[in-house]
Amino acid sequence: MTVAFATPRRIATWGTATILLTLLAGVAVDRLRSREQSIAVATALTKGDPALAPPIFRRYGCTGCHTIPGVPGADGKVAARLEGLRSRVYIAGTLNNTGDALVSWIVSPQRFQPDTAMPATGITEPEARHLAAYLYAH
């Protein structure tokens, strides 16, 4: 049986490892807080639940045209990438970026831009609220 003694070098290594683990834990906690805050803001802006959005995106075919972060298979190249939407000034280059405007655009894009390539999908307002919450949270 080998006995390991606490040499100054081992103590320094353990100390460095402890500091690194502490820093990594702090970064993880900050990211979790930031993520929770993004979800809370998105929910407040849209009155939707981002957790309900991924299957809605798939059901209506949004994933075929758009790349949507965090949604498996949502890697469409036809339409705009839907990441960082909350930080944009306009929706589709036409509407001021507000929660209600995004919901309205998702439900009826032709109402705002008759020649848009985005189809009328049949998405309901409550479903659009969940989609908008997801997009604002990501």
pLDDT tens digits for range 61-92: 999 999 999 999 999 999 999 999 889 999 99
Q: What is the DSSP string of 2-62?
A: ------HHHHHHHHHHHHHHHHHHHHHHHHHHHHHHHHHHHHHHHS--GGGHHHHHHHTTH
- Scan for tokens 């890697």, then name that residue: 75
Domain ranges of the chain: 42-137
Q: Supply the pTM of this predicted model.
A: 0.76
Fold for the domain defined by 42-137: Cytochrome Bc1 Complex; Chain D, domain 2 (1.10.760)
pLDDT score of 20: 56
